[in-house]
A and B are shown apart, each in its own frame.
Chain A
Amino acid sequence: MSRRSRIKFQLRLPQLILAIALIILGLVFILILRNNPLVIANKNLTSIALLVSGLIFYAGVLVIVSMFESETILSISLLLPSIVAIAIFVYGFIGWSIRVSLSKWKGLNPDFTWFGLRQYYDLFHNDPRFVIDVRNTVMFTVGFILGCLILGLGIAILLDQKIKGEAIFRSIFLVPMSISFIATGVIWGWLMNPAVGNRITGINLIFQSLGLKSLISLWHSTPMPWGMAFTIIPAVWQVAGYTMALYLGGIRAISDDLREAARVDGASEFEIYRYVILPILQPVTLSAVIILAHMSLKIFDLIVALGNKAISLDVPGIYMWVTTFDGTNYAQGAAIGILMLVSVAILVVPYLVQSMRSETQL
């Protein structure tokens, strides 16, 4: 047993020479590039060249590692660059953002003067804009999730009725998912144009021509707080197809025997869905909620395209952008960013923990 677990090392000369050659080559390139930027056709490619040199260097290291004949060591070595990169560029910068959010940094030069939780306190106590942001986000998230779930499930159930041309309908409902939120926002901004009189256009024009004047709406320019509710329409339009796909996959995975058994027991079609299908779909609903919620808590592009940074349609993402990059108020921007991260984490982390537990149980 002890002999087995000991790591074998077999020195092979050709490999060693290759490894040393790669390591030296990589190091030489890095040293050259340190003082001589690589410019090809007026493009500064130094950073890419440095990356390639680093890879050459690390390939040499890997060749040496491969001589250990241990899969564990090899897999760790292969993963190490990604682990280091993620540790620095994701978690390192989260930590750095937290530090910035506890500082007084305003202006171009970093200022790490300790300010405690004052930025957070100010956001919640002295900042009417952030209060609007929170309210808008809650309204948007609730409406967006409910809309997507109900519409997605509805379409999925309809598509499940073994209709002709199901594939075509499925594609039609899924296509909006491939459009960027910016494009959706711009197009729905035109459709939901609130202009009246001779400038009437978009959906309002359709209502007018149909004689449905009572339906003519100010849409997302409705006075606060209800304007935000209208931004849910394009969001649901875009993402409901995705929820549909999730649900349809879930429904298709349910064995027909269960339905048959329910029918034999005298259940109506409605009762089959209510008491058989829906409970089985619960895990699908949970993952759909997680995915939808993390989209809506971070929403930025759709709202910017629709509201052009109007305060009545403000969300934390927009406020973070404006205060950081227009106002050079980096500490406040970092605080808003961290609050967004926390709000998503509250949803995602328990889900991840739960799914990891159930995986280990399996």
Chain B
Amino acid sequence: MLSKKLGLKVFSLMLAVMLVISACGTAAKTTVATKSTEVEVFSWWVGPGEADGLAAMVKVFNQQYPDIKFINAAVTGGAGTNAKAVLATRLAANDAPDSWQAHAGQETIANYLSAGQIKPLDDLFKSTGFDKVLPATLLPLISKDGHPYSVPVNIHRSNVLWYNPKVLAAAGVTANPKTDFKTLDDFFAACDKVKAAGKICLSLGAPWTAIHLFENIMIGTIGADKWNGMWTTPPTTDWAGADVAAGIANFAKALSFTNADASTMSDWQPASKLMVDGDAAFNIMGDWAYGYFANAAPNGLALKPHTDFDWAVSPGTYGVFNFLSDSFVLPVGAKHPDATEAWLTVAASKAGQEAFNPLKGSICARTDCDQSLFSEYSQDAAKDWTSNVVVGSLMHGVVAAPAWATSIGTAIGLFQTDTSKTADFQAALVAACAKDGTCK
């Protein structure tokens, strides 16, 4: 009898334990079990804002995993150029860090998946419930054959049209950039007025900003679906076709409204400054420009939103969110795989992203972050992030492998030297796609 009672007790206890376990299983997992004592994370977040953001996210990590020592293997150097070279050397020497920063999308997939360096993250996305809080249109852009390969931590927007309301008013532009630039032609009509008033319509900076402009003009001309179709294998949008030709024509026209000294500018900031200084009306630049405009000196110009500068999405891209993202990967030969998983779990978590993004000036990849933590611009962008169609940036590594993106960049640079050669430009784009192997 006694043994039967005991058996019942044991049975009910087991049942209870199982129930608890299954309850844990259905709820999103917040931490993972770990044995490792350290995790080495490689990034190029060393500048103002981003380094603070990383430190804040590490603080969250340390709270959740006090037994794991976080080793920050950050490498200095603009936009990760140096860091990527250092990382390539380390990977070649079989000395991979436990996780590293990579632009989400094809840059990650072409560089690291093709080299057999990273693993898919389906399990982590499911177990943490991360896949549920991402925009549905994002997942295909960071996946290959249906498997996601990196955890996006922050989201930046490429298709932002910054403008100077005072210049527009002085030039007699009555169209409202937030609602009235439904096509590029609407925008060019405004440009004609600005030009007639003796101002630059669209300020442009260092050569790479022309690639940034190109992608947003193309999306504004052909729309999100056809833009996505340019990057599928094989492309469903014909690179030699009329849609791309129309985009090229608009790009040529947009270039005709830019400042002649663009190529002598050292980066994007001088071009954005032309706009806020009142020399130019518009500037198409990613949303990192917001920090430059609004932050206090010395890292920003301390300008007032809506009066000194204002923003809309780039012409013709209402309802489209052209994104780029920094993300972290799971290496094949990770020295501390459980610690890597712990780090990725934090990077994907609400707490981690809420700690990082307000300081970096980006928005959460998750759609459920507490918006009161963010700037006015970021709140605005976060609304679009949840509701818009998400497409990927060319300049910033989402849609094309680096080799392909570089050939397109060369074609755009050549086109800039003579914008009448639209046919040559399109032929060069077709050749670049063929060389990549995506087009037949």
Contacts and interface: CB of A to CB of B under 8 A. Distances in A.
A and B: partners?
Answer: yes
Contacts of B403: 106-107, 327-329
B127 to A, nearest CB: 29
Contacts of A325: 81, 84-85
Interface residues of A, number: 40
A71 interface: no
A108 B117 contact: yes
B413 A310 contact: yes
A308 B265 contact: yes
Given A109-B116, A326-B402, A327-B406, A224 B207 contact: no
Interface string B79-98: 00100110010011000000
Contacts of A60: none
A309 B116 contact: no
A342 B409 CA distance: 27
B263 interface: yes
B261 A107 contact: no
A141 interface: no
A327 B405 contact: yes
B206 interface: yes
B406 A322 contact: yes
Contacts of A224: 417-418
B417 A223 contact: yes
Contacts of A326: 81, 402, 405-406, 409
A337 interface: no
B260 A221 contact: yes
A323 B410 CA distance: 10
Given A195-B261, A311-B413, A108 B111 contact: yes
A199 B265 CA distance: 13
A225 to B, nearest CB: 9
Contacts of B111: 107-108, 328
A24 to B, nearest CB: 29
Given A308-B207, A311-B417, A221 B263 contact: yes
A221 B261 contact: yes
Residue of B198, B402, B416 with most chain A CB atoms under a 10 A cut-off? B402
Contact of B416 (A108, A195, A311, A322): A311
Contacts of A219: 264
A167 to B, nearest CB: 37
Interface string A5-42: 00000000000000000000000000000000000000
Interface string B253-273: 000000111011111000000
Contact of A312 (B198, B259, B266, B417): B417
B279 interface: yes
A214 B184 CA distance: 37
Contacts of A310: 207, 263, 413, 416
B29 to A, nearest CB: 32
B406 A329 contact: yes
A194 interface: yes
Contacts of B265: 308
B263 A129 contact: no
Contacts of B206: 308-309
Given A108-B111, A199-B279, A326-B81, A194 B261 contact: yes
Contact of B91 (A108, A186, A194, A218): A108
Interface in A212-239: 218-221, 223-224
A107 B264 contact: no
A307 B114 contact: no
A219 B264 CA distance: 10
A72 interface: no
A327 B259 CA distance: 28
Residue of B92, B116, B263 with most chain A CB atoms under a 10 A cut-off? B263
A10 to B, nearest CB: 46
A46 to B, nearest CB: 12
Nearest to A309: B207
B115 interface: yes
A107 B207 CA distance: 24
Which 10 pairs, one residue from A and one from B, show the smallest C-beta to C-beta distance? A327-B406, A311-B413, A310-B263, A108-B115, A308-B206, A109-B115, A194-B261, A327-B403, A224-B417, A310-B207
19 contacts: A107-B111, A108-B88, A108-B91, A128-B414, A129-B410, A189-B264, A192-B264, A193-B264, A194-B264, A195-B259, A308-B263, A310-B207, A311-B413, A322-B409, A325-B84, A326-B406, A326-B409, A328-B110, A328-B403
